[in-house]
Amino acid sequence: MTQMQMARNNIVSEEMRICALGEGVSVEVIMEKLANGQAVIPKNRLHNISKPKVIGSNFSVKVNANIGTSFGYSSLKEELEKLNVALSAGADSVMVLSTWGNLSEMRRIIVENSPVPVGSVPIYDSAVKAYEEGKNVIDFSEKDFIDMVYAHAKDGIDFMTIHVGITKDVLKKLKDSKRILKIVSRGGAIIAGWMIKNNRENPFYEHFDEILDIAAEFDITLSLGDGMRPGAVVDATDPQQLEELFVMSQLVDRAREKGVQVMLEGPGHVPLNEIETNVKLMKKIGKGAPIFLLGPLPTDRGVGHDHIVSAVGAAFAAYHGCDFICYVTPAEHVALPDVEDVKYGVIASKIAAVIADVARGNKKALELEHQMALARARFDWNKMFELAIHSEDAKKKLKSRPYESEGCSMCGPFCAIKVTKDFSEGKITVMM
């Protein structure tokens, strides 16, 4: 049985127990959300996860880190370094989005070394296979779609992005749309190209029941990919994006009927004033399914610093109901991320997630803020670093410009906290 089916049958899995403990809630709360589809626990039966995560309504906001090779840049050693730095920075999951090298071997090794859920995008493999055979990246068979899903399932992948919402009806309106950037999703573009060349319906949509059977067999969480997500803030919340969302709404029902865990992916590039509308619309049309957002980025002009842009959008989106943030690195839009980019991408997204958790009144997040306030009042640096989202850089800065007394070199003897503390403790005498 899948996690959803177990919850519906009042069977408590080990993953549910671990997630309940981590969230500080009862197992019954976890089971209720799993049973009605408002939460998922991505966990392939073949993947021995020691740190399962529950994603969904009323739980802490989770962060995903994308890793993977690209044309001309393929190193398993580097990908394992990216995995480790993502985990040390606090990533709740990783996605292996490799498009070069031995893709299956890389997936299996990442899965074997990851204590958290691992995701993938099967359609990439079909495109890479075609390219390696000297064909166009869209020259593969309809059967390849299903075969790749099954191959990823056997490799232990816990959640998969399936670009199933791009139908012929959605696609035929794209050509005459006012979008500046027609399609920015790699998977979406590959599928759209295949559909146009073959004059056929999207195989993921046409054979969705077969995909559901595979997902149910391995208990894979399906992430319904937004192939029509806007790739520029000026394209946000347009008819193409919304039409695809309506298609995915029907697929959520079909997945739940088979007991398959499912979540919805969303934009992308969205102005700050439209983020709340997008999130709430996705929640309503998606019938409460968990929402997985890339960013979103509320400006397109932060190139080289898009992890900061994304953190702003992600905090706002998560406050309004986004459950799962896909990080964005400083290299976004300009280069394949390196290990350092992965680190700072995760840190920025974790900060956004914590900001949202605090604003949403998450009890665990609020308690940690209370402990941090006490540590700051006591100049307890060790406790502050222990509670920090990521303390490595802070420790370096403290040592770089040391201050021998209480406080730090920012204010020195003029520290407001120090002055107030001395007054409160009677160390400042009143002149008569």
Binding-site residues for Zn(2+): 269, 333
Q: Tokens 């989202």, residue?
A: 389
Contacts of residue 76, defined as CB under 8 A and 6 or more positions apart, other chains included, come to: 101, 105, 106, 109
Q: Report the SS3 class of residue 192.
A: helix
Q: Are β-strands 39-40 and 62-67 bridged in parallel, bridged antiparallel, or unpaired?
A: unpaired
Residue 219's φ and ψ, nearest 5 degrees, are: 55, 55
Q: Which residues are annotated as a binding site for [4Fe-4S] cluster?
A: 408, 411, 415
From the list 262, 194, 258, 269, the residue with the least C-alpha distance to 222 is: 262
CB 279 within 8 A of CB 236: no
Q: Which residues are annotated as a binding site?
A: 66, 95, 124, 163, 185-187, 226-229, 265, 269, 292, 333, 408, 411, 415
d(CA 410, CA 385): 17
From the list 164, 171, 169, the residue with the least C-alpha distance to 210 is: 164
Give the rounded distance of the alpha carbon of 308 from its chain centre.
16
Q: Which residues are annotated as a binding site for substrate?
A: 66, 95, 124, 163, 185-187, 226-229, 265, 292
SS3 content of the chain, % helix, strand, coil (to 5): 50, 10, 40
Maximum C-alpha span of the chain: 93
CB 110 within 8 A of CB 370: no
From the list 283, 299, 300, 303, the residue with the least C-alpha distance to 291 is: 283
What tokens does 135 get?
């064909």
